[in-house]
Structure 1
């Protein structure tokens, strides 16, 4: 066994944090994750995992990695330990230390991605090491994805490829060692209105895009109220779907009729609400609130969106995780790759050692006290679903 070629847990995390893999909507900040998955592949191949790298179409610098140990590949069983390898950008000057250098202080490991969620991979590998010399009846898979923080393109590519195979999956997002079986989805949309500019002394000379946007905002707020009346899930801290008006810009001068304006907003739907249906309703309702033929309205999706997620309470995976963690499976408001795995018939929960409160923040860290309990939970899950 070539396990001596694999660094210890902290050294793995040091190398992962030290390998930048920022994904961002700004092309100037966006970079590939290929060096990270290649690093993971090197370690896992040394542990006798069968490793497959799957570059994303049109972007060879970004790739998913599927590493499998033992069992069969018929897709009828096994456990997947899944995480994304990209991070968000960081606030330069607001970190107390270099975000790409793992620093240990105050019983914490500081570094970009330590909590969300590069820190999950060394723990998964540490748990897997306990089973290298044991015959696994069902396969153990470690899955590493690309572009979760922006487009979910990595997860979507896996769905299109029908990979990986497995019966159960853990998505190691930061949940503070508490199992999560539900989360809201997210969609980000833009409304762009083009009118006709003109001298403000005579409104008939133009068509005011800002005034049309006033009608659009009123319609969005009415639609939000209707959705919140129709959909309610007490399992969430905010039990209704939300719609946030996040950005608006239009016009160029107070003495000109506004010729164009744009509004950007997000919707966080509950399980049972489907993005395709919501977008169709948005298109229909917003188009109907404009009755001026000199006004042109477009509704544009800023990214494909992430579906809401729900794993049934009676799932064997949920009940096993609840016993191991000592907590009832709950919900979170943030989105993950869990619905993509669930769409492939894989029972899935979200469970990881980090804290969402420090994710996407300066001085992101993983608490040392979380490491051994998470490794222990993963070992017991592997034993339950792979041996």
Structure 2
């Protein structure tokens, strides 16, 4: 692999800001990144389709295909990054910097660094050698809404035999991950003078009752669901923030509670949300308050590939046993389209979403070799 060319391409990708966020003040278009990838893949002989996301202005997916026929392999990555705090970085986050055996920049490991590797590996073979197609897939908004992956799933396109999502796993295959629910509960009471509690309905009092219920539910989930494959072998619930009231001498008129749940593969998210909604409805009827449960983001389903052909192949090629992780990815959406899916790529999740994010140079050659072997298996030999 040509390290200088890789570094040049990654520097160009990093230099194009593509933050996705649930907050409109941070959210940005990913079009510049998609256009770069489109120009590179097209010059390498790929057929390129730039897909605008419905109801998401400025957001695009890229589907670049080399070869024809059925089956084949998808190498997939997301084109967006999380927001960052430039003042906490030792260098400009959008200027790739090489030092201490690593390349530093926003998205270097999560996960813009995967794309130049995939492109380099695709050129390890001649175009006429492809007996099944290779697809380079770049998606939008993985870090916020998963809108890019959901748009592909809803269109049932593209379809390949196998899909590798190049999230930073240290080249260890990931065969399962937890799902993610982020929920909001809004409690509306009635404000009034604190000297007479009967003048109002204190939303904070109701929030205490509601939080007590959620804590009981948290313990119940831990006892009801268990999966030893995960380091944290039970569903977790985290109370992330609570906002309410405006003055100690005024009855609290409104409280908002935000929490997340990391679900195991056998915990059905819609059923859990219905369980919480039913309690909220009963508490509202009992107290007279307005209690509204709503998702903060589109819930990310859990993922479980089992011991599939692709998982076994990746274990064989990497000499690493497949593992599980607690963070969410686009894997369940590609799997839902009928593809054998695994999560595996260079870099470490431990440095993702952190100041001074980096990808180690020592990971690049092994990643290039691994991806080339996967392309050979699924697209050249078409085994």
Q: Which TM bucket (shorter chain)?
A: over 0.9
Could you tell me how far 1:290 is from its partner in structure 2?
A: 4.1
User: Residue 294 of structure 1: which of 281, 288, 291 is its match?
Assistant: 288
Aligned to 1:4: none
User: How far apart in 1 are the matches of 2:103 and 2:140?
Assistant: 23
Partner-residue secondary structure (3-state), 2:179: coil
Are 2:235 and 2:264, in contact at CA under 8 Å, matched by a contact in 1? yes
The residue aligned with 1:3 is none
Give the equivalent residue in structure 2 for 1:71.
68
Which of 255, 258, 269 matches 1:261?
A: 255
Alignment equivalent of 2:114, drawn from 116, 120, 130: 120
Tell me the distance in 1 between the aligned counterparts of 2:40 and 2:285: 62
- 1:26-175 residue pairs with structure 2 within 5 A? 26-72=23-69, 74=70, 77-175=71-169
Determine helix, strand or coil for the equivalent of 1:239.
coil
Aligned to 1:331: 324
Task: State the aligned residue count.
Answer: 378
Tell me by how many angstroms 1:385 deviates. Answer: 1.0
In the other structure, the counterpart of 1:8 is 5
Counterpart of 1:305? 299
**CA-to-aligned-CA distance 1:276-325 (integer Å, 9 cap, x gap):** 22211110123223454531110011111100000011x11000000111
Task: Give structure 2 stretches of 5+ with no counterpart.
Answer: none
> Shift of the alpha carbon at 1:22?
0.8
Does the CA-based 8 Å contact 2:171-2:347 persist in structure 1?
Answer: yes
Work out whether 1:384 is the aligned partner of 2:377: yes
Partner of 1:236: 230
Mapped to 1, the partners of 2:336 and 2:130 lie a distance apart of 25
1:359 aligns with 2:352: yes
Corresponding residue number in structure 2 for 1:342: 335
Partner of 1:318 in structure 2? 311
- Per-residue CA deviations over 1:65-120 (Å, capped at 9, x if unaligned) read 00111131x4xx11100000000111121111111111111110000000000000
Instruction: State the 1:204 CA deviation.
Output: 1.2
Q: In 2, Cα distance between the equivalents of 1:18 and 1:353? A: 20
Give 3-state SS (helix, strand or coil) of 2:86's partner.
coil
- Of 275-284 and 173-182, more deviation after overlay is shown by 275-284
Superposed displacement of residue 58, structure 1: 2.7
RMSD: 1.3
Q: Does structure 2 retain, via aligned residues, the 8 Å contact 1:47–1:132?
A: no
* Pairwise CA distance, 1:354: 1.2
Q: Give 1:258 deviation, angstroms.
A: 1.0
Whole-angstrom CA distance in 2 between matches of 1:233 and 1:294: 40
Are 1:192 and 1:262, in contact at CA under 8 Å, matched by a contact in 2? Answer: yes
